[in-house]
Chains A and B, each alone.
Chain A
Amino acid sequence: MDLNALTECLVSTSCMVTQVTSGFIIGMLLFLVAIGLTLIFGVMKIVNFTHGAFYMIGAYLAMTVFQLTESYTLALLGAAVGACLFGIVVERFFMQRIYGGNVLMQLLVCYALVLILDDLVRIIWGPEFKSMGMPDAFRVPPLFIMGGVVPPFYLFLIAAALSIAVIVGLAIARTRFGKTIRAAAHNPSMVSVLGINTGLLFTGVFALGCLLAGLAGGLAAPVRSLTPGMGFSILIESFIVTVIGGMGSILGALVGAVLIGLIRTFGALGFPLFTEALMYLAMAVVLIVKPSGLFGREAA
């Protein structure tokens, strides 16, 4: 424990700026993955363990497109669209068969898909770790804001993630598609009886979730080493975020992700040996106090 370091930071503007922005940086990537997870669970009631694999696919696609075109914009587009298309194929051929099924069966199918996708990546890109490198536009010195250090790339990442949060939030709240998703989350059978093609709806939601995960992978690629199986670690943390925020809640995913990010950055200062444990402690507290999550709905 190093409470001195923590208290010194809390009274230092530069430290607070650095640590808070770092918390947001960690949180925003988690949020992009968690939002897809929470959407899929909210509508289809399926715990999608393959979600991390789409993050991985997004990262690899981004790296490949970047190597071919040297354009980060195209790389992000490639990551998002590629992961989305992959998601559609997986949903149509595999996931559709396990909706409403036994939870263990769902877990088994998802785990099998994770292993298959990891091996597919290994076959295509090789088993060794790869590095994309930072795009030229972001290879600039960090900004000093009130004495705190903030890399421009991470500002871009935060802005991108927040924009996506707003767009997805507005889409869910204001568009017909969003209304249908909310209705299906409440009562899928009623939605089906009303003549809405729930099969197509579920494919759309799954594809959207995979698109967001793939985009997260593309955003992370410049600062991560890419390896088969890299999706697993972010998947676990994303589950923690959705549990804390509440399954099915986008706002919950955002708040949960930022909370985890801040716990990690400030925890690393004050409790360097227990930083991971603090995350799980936070999850445990939320589960005890409000089992449905901070913004989740109580079970009827």
Chain B
Amino acid sequence: MTNKSLSSMNRRGFLVAGAAAAGTVSMPWVAGAQAKVIKVAFPTILSGRVAQLGTSSRNAALMEVEKINAAGGLAGRTIELVIRDTKGQPQEAARVARELVNSDGCELMIDAEASTGAFAVHEVARDLGILCIHTNSETSSLSADPKLKLPNAFRCARQGIHDSVVGGSYAAEIAKAKNLTRWATCSPDYAYGRDTTAEFVMYLKQFAPKVEVISEAWPKIFQPDYTEAITKILQAKPQALYSCLWGGDLTSFIDQAAIYALFTQMQFYAVNMADYTALTAVKNLPAGIHSGNRYIKTFPATPENAAWGDAYKAKYGEYPTNWSWQNALVINFLAEAAKKANSADGKKLAEALRGLTIKSPFGAEGTVTMRAEDQTIVGYAVGWGTTIPKEPYVPEMKSVPWQRIFELEAEWKKSKGFA
């Protein structure tokens, strides 16, 4: 071996050793930097007819994450939302959720899927044991059915059963006053549509026993053409129509039904109408549509709620949706749970979340609680009112005290064998 090759080998060896030493010494810093960040999986729908569900969820979550990170994050760890598009397909939602945990290193999951995907993600949460909070599925059975209960799965979203108690009560008052006994329904043919419609009709009949459902239409979710459903409803000649169609489906239905003058022939109860996007998307919104509150910055009529709605609009150029407040709330719940547990560990957060009550602009009385028994939120503002085609869109909301909602919900759970 020559001197030259010896010295080049020594130099090469020195460089390699130096790099290895630098890597070893810096690893704690790198690992430390990574430990300072907590990745939170955020599968949601960012494309297709209901992309707005995902985009408004994401926007609201990011707005709150910014505030929480500025205040120190979750027990000192900076939140990083890892957002993925599931295209509204259950199989894609499950695949993406699994990938976010197994490949992307997410330690918590905010499942911002609609009900179509939420049940699929729920099974992934069961399998992986990760803390998973569903923020957009309103199908009551997701949290009410004991067979689906997991210690690591929660729901931070309104529920069909709560909307139906209030909606049924509201509709029954009008039904009795105007003698509306012949009703029809037109709702999307999947878990949310079926369950929520059944719950609304159950309470409507409970409060107004003379009501009879004379026609039902069950279009497919995301169906572009509702002509056959509309003509079927017209043939039945109901006095009132209930629907839990939502997003682009609802606005399509309204556009198509309006040219048949459907809304001049019957009253329309659309639980998902009073979302700013739906309210502003329909160019000639018929007056007098009855709706649940979704998100309206005037309900609750508090400065905090109005301020939050305005802050969202200032940041994103449009008003928040129902999905927005639910995803904002989940970040607030995580922050408070982390403070309570003094940890960002999923199991400890789950323990802290159970029964946790936090101050919130979305609460009917200024607070929202994560009920321990079924790990779902209660106490949020829920009401129904009649829409007008301009701001404030729903001038007056009527509600039912939460104590009464609890009583009726308990009866419903018993009747379904959930309690």
Residues of A within 8 A of B259 (CB): 134, 138, 142, 151, 153-154, 223
CB interface residues, B 220-240, toward A, < 8 Å:
220, 222-225, 227-229, 231-232, 234-235
Report yes or no: A272 in contact with B218, Cβ–Cβ below 8 A.
yes
Least CB distance, B332 to chain A, in whole angstroms: 25
Least CB distance, A126 to chain B, in whole angstroms: 9
Which candidate, A99-107, A165-173, A226-234, A282-290, is the interface stretch facing chain B? A226-234
Report the bound CA distance from A129 to B51 in whole Å.
Answer: 8
Report the bound CA distance from A95 to B228 in whole Å.
Answer: 36
Report yes or no: B251 in contact with A129, Cβ–Cβ below 8 A.
yes
The answer to the question of A195 belonging to the interface, with a C-beta cut-off of 8 Å to chain B, is: no
Report yes or no: A264 in contact with B228, Cβ–Cβ below 8 A.
yes
A-B CB contacts (within 8 Å), total count: 119
Residues of B within 8 A of A272 (CB): 216-218, 232
CB interface residues, B 20-68, toward A, < 8 Å:
46-52, 55
Bits for A244-284, please: 1 = Cβ < 8 Å to B, else 0: 00000000000000000000110111001101100000000
Residues of B within 8 A of A122 (CB): 47
Which candidate, A15-23, A78-86, A184-192, A206-214, is the interface stretch facing chain B? A15-23
A-B CB contact pairs (8 Å), 29 listed: A15-B235, A127-B52, A127-B55, A129-B52, A129-B248, A132-B283, A133-B255, A133-B284, A134-B283, A138-B259, A139-B284, A141-B261, A142-B259, A149-B231, A149-B260, A149-B261, A151-B259, A154-B259, A220-B224, A222-B255, A223-B252, A223-B256, A225-B251, A227-B51, A227-B248, A264-B227, A264-B228, A269-B232, A273-B218
Report the bound CA distance from A9 to B220 in whole Å.
Answer: 23
Name the residue of chain A whose CB is nearest to the CB of B48.
A229
Report yes or no: A127 in contact with B223, Cβ–Cβ below 8 A.
no
The answer to the question of A130 belonging to the interface, with a C-beta cut-off of 8 Å to chain B, is: yes
Bits for B76-117, please: 1 = Cβ < 8 Å to A, else 0: 000000000000000000000000000000000000000000
Report yes or no: B232 in contact with A268, Cβ–Cβ below 8 A.
yes
Least CB distance, A116 to chain B, in whole angstroms: 13
Residues of B within 8 A of A154 (CB): 259
Name the residue of chain B whose CB is nearest to the CB of A130.
B281
Known: A142-B259, A272-B216. Is A131-B225 also a contact (CB below 8 A)? no
Report yes or no: B47 in contact with A229, Cβ–Cβ below 8 A.
yes
Report yes or no: A128 in contact with B235, Cβ–Cβ below 8 A.
no
Contacts beyond the supplied A131-B255, A149-B234: 7 A-B pairs with Cβ under 8 Å: A19-B235, A133-B284, A134-B259, A142-B261, A223-B252, A227-B248, A272-B218
